Amino acid sequence: MRNLIGIAALALVTACQQAPTELKVDGAWVRVPAVAGNPGAAYFTLHGGSEKANLVAVSAKFAVRAEIHESMKHDMANMPEMNMASGAMMMQPVKDVVIQPGDTVTFEPGGKHVMLFDVSTSLTPGRKAPLTLSFADGKKVEIEAIIVGAGDPAPR
Ligand SMILES: [Cu+2]
């Protein structure tokens, strides 16, 4: 009898360990533009679950359009005419972002980010606003992003 209980307990532990974990998103924040009409940006961290995920779009009710971008840190040496002194950050849209199982993918200034176009002027720094992340399998994840003023430091 004792053995049976032991086996049952073991089966339960195994079942727990094999339960699939869901992808999670945290640390979301939105930088409002310094000048009305300029784009804002959204950042967050994706924590991969047990299955590979593919982020294909991000949207926000407070922006007319949103694009996933990646800042380009490479090739600068080969393009002296595109120097950093101009203050213009070089970036390009990316079609999708793959999150491997158990992997962490961070959207942050200078790296991957979501560019928000035609941002509502009613966003108040310190408050929160929702972002919707859409994945290739049809899954949508809604997260609350902290709104950060144009000149304020990142919230982490
Ligand atoms: Cu951008």
User: How many angstroms is it from 136 CA to the middle of ligand 1?
Assistant: 21
Q: State the distance from the centre of ligand 1 to the C-alpha of 62, rounded, in angstroms.
A: 17
Q: Among 43-57, 77-91, 110-124, 142-156, which is the least confidently predicted range?
A: 77-91
CA of 112 to the centre of ligand 1 (A): 8
Ligand 1 centroid to Cα of residue 2, in Å, is 62
SS3 category, 67: strand
Q: pTM score, two decimals?
A: 0.80
Report the distance separating Cα 146 and Cα 154, nearest Å.
10
Ligand 1 centroid to 110 CA: how many Å? Answer: 9
Per the CB < 8 A criterion, the answer to whether 49 and 137 are in contact is no
> Could you tell me the distance, in angstroms and rounded to a whole number, from the CA of residue 102 to the centre of ligand 1?
26
Beta-bridge partners for 46? 25, 105
If you search the block for the tokens 């430091």, which residue do you land on? 153
| CB contact at 8 A, 28 and 145 | yes
Q: How many helices (H) and strands (E) does the chain have?
A: 1, 10
Across the chain, what does the average pLDDT equal? 86
Q: Is the pLDDT of residue 83 over 50?
A: no
Residue 145 Cα to ligand 1 midpoint, Å, equals: 17
Decide if 119 contacts 131 (C-beta within 8 A). Answer: no
List, for residues 36-74, the tens digit of each pLDDT value.
889 999 999 999 999 999 999 999 999 999 999 999 765
CA atoms within 13 A on the CB side of 47: 7
- pLDDT for 3 equals 62
- CATH numbers and ranges of domains, the chain: 21-148 (2.60.40.1890)
Q: Classify the phi-psi angles of 64: left when phi > 0, otherwise alpha if psi is within -120 to 50, otherwise beta.
A: alpha
Ligand 1 center from residue 118 Cα (angstroms):
13
84, 73 contact by CB (below 8 A): no
Sequence letter at residue 26: D
